[in-house]
Chains A and B, each alone.
Chain A
Amino acid sequence: MSELLTLSGVETHIGRYHILHGVELGVPEGQTTMLLGRNGAGKTTTLRTIMGLWRASGGEIRFGGERIDALSTPAIARAGIGYVPETMAVFSDLTVKENLVLAAREGEMDQTRLDWIFGFFPPLRKFWLSRAGTLSGGQKQMLSFARSLIEPRRLLLIDEPTKGLAPAIIGALIDCLKEVKRRGATILLVEQNFRVAQAIGDTVGVMDNGRVVHAGTMAELVADEAMQQRLLGLSLDTHQ
């Protein structure tokens, strides 16, 4: 299985803090890779470094074989990476429609694709002309997802999408991700909810203190409770 995205020895400094200490991570093409780890482990920093929002001060990031660690954020996005940040970052002064118009940077929105998205997230159709700032948290997450899906991207980076959301919405997000993967996209998903990770993860990387401390298949981690306990400890609530 070839890797679509590879991080080798990635170092990231934020101001005078050294946050990532040589991150090694491979994301196999066409699969869903889970990035797990306790709070403050460096998951968000890893995704932001891939997007070029923080600069890697060492190491290499390859996407489809090409180095992207020296590219600007817009260039990285245009290489085919969609990003759903931890904060969702919907443009609250813009309507749902306007948010998606911007996300569709190649031109007009494709109606078939839009209908496909509405299928997972009906509220987006309902609130099409409402300002995104007035949406509920779950609806904002749907919009943030929709922005990354309105045009096909090779890789999606998604940061803790289920945080604070009701089970019904989490279900919709999972259905959506499964379908996106089935259509051929590769996904790198940060997730604290082990149930979700278990439901859609193929491979997994576990981070701690700015390093990837374990990498393997999801099935292997699911089967080995001792390993779960050791790697994820109490930060994880398996009974969620």
Chain B
Amino acid sequence: MSAQGTDGDTDAGAALPKTPRDYLPLLLPVALALAALPFVPSTSTWVTLTIAGLAMGMMIFVMASGLTLIFGLMDVLNFGHGAFIAIGAYMATLVLIPLAAWMQADSVWLNLAAVVPAVLFAMAVTGALGLAFERIVIMPVYGQHLKQILITMGGMIVAEQMLYAFFGPQQIPLPLPTSLRGSFQFGEAAIEKYRVVCVLVGLAVFLAMLAILNRSKIGLLIRAGVENTEMVEALGYRITRLFVGVFMAGSALAGLGGVMWALYREQVNAAMGGELLVLVFIVVIIGGLGSVTGCFIGALLVALATNYAGFLVPKLALVTDILLMVAVLLWRPRGLYPVTSR
């Protein structure tokens, strides 16, 4: 190559070439949705299935986004992430059950007055627990994958048993607030209101994360740290602070995802964390460890495929996630957007 600027094109006035980004994976969810269209008997059913898939995808994304950053930045396999999902859901019940009257009231404002504090409380508790978990449980095992798996799985089991102990083994019903019940009617297609809310919340989280990662110095540090923590330190930044911050934020997002999921299912049980964790890990792997955009696309793909398959070939629904993961990894062995060198 010739790196010496021998000609005038390096002057300030010259066009600055931008790198073309890799947009292909972004088309996958669209392609999947269009591919399913001819097989579904009516367009309205397709619309319903697609919206349901998008809503589910957004919830999984919210849960998984923190995990992918934790893995990418800290190289930690956190099997305890599922615990934060379940704890978030239970914390929301602590606020919502006493406020049941507001939830059932016919006023958007009263509904919000119950839901918003419940979400904030759930995120605050899971965020704080994330801080403690990182300092006490994770810190001694940085760089030791096997120990991480054992100790975080142990943490997960302990958390699950604590939830049983405090809240009992039974499922706790968690009805949606009145204003989020029912559906919008678009011609033939019925679209549940709550699913629309999930899509909006998921999009907001995604856009906020992109803005932080691409526009702020903290975000640059996170992206740089995902690639090379040593060099970030050699530039004079304390990576441990970044670790703690990302772990707290990731845990709080898991808590948010847990609340969203609990309201979607209208019930809470202690096993939900473990069940969702499998899905979350699949999504993180499909996306390319460490990539938020990859995680977003992966979550949409998994959820759409699950919904279409559940309708068209119910027997296949159980294995769609795995099949999808295999297919993606055959195409891109390190996931859709690999960012780490690991």
Interface residues of A (CB under 8 A from B): 51, 53, 72-74, 77-78, 83, 85, 89, 91-95, 98-99, 101-103, 105, 118, 121-123, 125-131, 134, 136-139, 142, 147, 166, 168-169, 171-172
Tell yes or no: B96 within 8 A of A by CB. Answer: no
The A interface is mostly helix, strand or loop, or mixed, namely helix
Residues of B with C-beta under 8 A to A74: 233, 236-239
B227 touches A102 (CB 8 A): no
CB distance from A114 to the nearest CB of B (A): 11
29 CB-based A-B contacts, threshold 8 Å: A53-B233, A53-B234, A72-B233, A72-B238, A73-B234, A77-B234, A83-B234, A89-B228, A89-B230, A93-B226, A93-B339, A94-B223, A94-B224, A98-B220, A122-B4, A122-B10, A123-B3, A123-B10, A125-B10, A127-B16, A129-B16, A130-B17, A138-B3, A139-B3, A166-B1, A168-B3, A168-B4, A169-B4, A172-B3
Given contact pairs A77-B234, A172-B3, a sample of 16 additional A-B residue pairs in the complex whose CB atoms are under 8 Å apart: A53-B230, A73-B233, A77-B233, A91-B223, A92-B227, A95-B19, A101-B220, A105-B236, A122-B4, A123-B3, A123-B5, A125-B10, A129-B18, A138-B3, A168-B2, A168-B3
CB distance from A233 to the nearest CB of B (A): 32
CB distance from A225 to the nearest CB of B (A): 32
Tell yes or no: B34 within 8 A of A by CB. Answer: no
The 10 A-B pairs of least Cβ separation, nearest first, read A122-B5, A77-B236, A122-B10, A73-B233, A89-B231, A138-B3, A136-B1, A91-B224, A131-B19, A168-B4
Residues of A with C-beta under 8 A to B227: 91-93
Q: How far is the CA of A99 from the CA of B10 in the complex (A)?
A: 19
Which among B14, B226, B231 is the interface contact of A126 at CB below 8 angstroms?
B14
B220 touches A147 (CB 8 A): no
Q: How far is the CA of A102 from the CA of B223 in the complex (A)?
A: 11
Interface mask (B206-245 → A, CB under 8 Å = 1, otherwise 0): 0000000000010011011011101111111111000000
Q: How far is the CA of A95 from the CA of B219 in the complex (A)?
A: 13
A105 touches B16 (CB 8 A): no
A142 touches B3 (CB 8 A): yes
Residues of B with C-beta under 8 A to A122: 4-5, 10
Residues of A with C-beta under 8 A to B235: 77, 102-103, 105, 147
**Contacts A102-B224, A126-B17, A128-B16 given: A85-B10 contact, CB under 8 Å?**
no
Residues of A with C-beta under 8 A to B226: 93
Which among B4, B12, B223, B233 is the interface contact of A125 at CB below 8 angstroms?
B12
Q: Which residue of A lies closest to B15 (CB)?
A: A126
Residues of B with C-beta under 8 A to A137: 1
Which among B17, B224, B233 is the interface contact of A127 at CB below 8 angstroms?
B17
Residues of B with C-beta under 8 A to A94: 220, 223-224
B19 touches A130 (CB 8 A): yes
Q: How far is the CA of A121 from the CA of B324 in the complex (A)?
A: 46
Residues of A with C-beta under 8 A to B217: 101-102
Residues of B with C-beta under 8 A to A72: 233, 238
Residues of B with C-beta under 8 A to A102: 217, 220-221, 224, 232, 235, 237
Which among A51, A123, A136 is the interface contact of B234 at CB below 8 angstroms?
A51
Q: Which residue of B lies closest to A118 (CB)?
A: B10
Residues of B with C-beta under 8 A to A83: 234
Residues of A with C-beta under 8 A to B238: 72, 74
A126 touches B223 (CB 8 A): no
Which among B3, B10, B223, B228 is the interface contact of A136 at CB below 8 angstroms?
B3
B236 touches A78 (CB 8 A): yes
CB distance from A231 to the nearest CB of B (A): 30
CB distance from A197 to the nearest CB of B (A): 22
Q: Which residue of A lies closest to B237 (CB)?
A: A74
Q: How far is the CA of A155 from the CA of B267 in the complex (A)?
A: 61
Residues of B with C-beta under 8 A to A127: 16-17
- Most chain A beta carbons < 10 A, residue from B4, B217, B235: B235
Q: Which residue of B lies closest to A52 (CB)?
A: B233
Q: Which residue of B lies closest to A101 (CB)?
A: B220
Residues of B with C-beta under 8 A to A172: 3-4
Interface mask (B2-26 → A, CB under 8 Å = 1, otherwise 0): 1111000110101011110000000
- Most chain A beta carbons < 10 A, residue from B12, B224, B238: B224
**Contacts A85-B231, A101-B217, A122-B5 given: A130-B18 contact, CB under 8 Å?**
yes
CB distance from B240 to the nearest CB of A (A): 9
A126 touches B339 (CB 8 A): no
CB distance from A229 to the nearest CB of B (A): 34
Residues of B with C-beta under 8 A to A126: 5, 9-10, 14, 16-17
Q: How far is the CA of A85 from the CA of B236 in the complex (A)?
A: 14
Residues of A with C-beta under 8 A to B5: 122-123, 126
CB distance from A208 to the nearest CB of B (A): 26
- Most chain A beta carbons < 10 A, residue from B217, B233, B339: B233
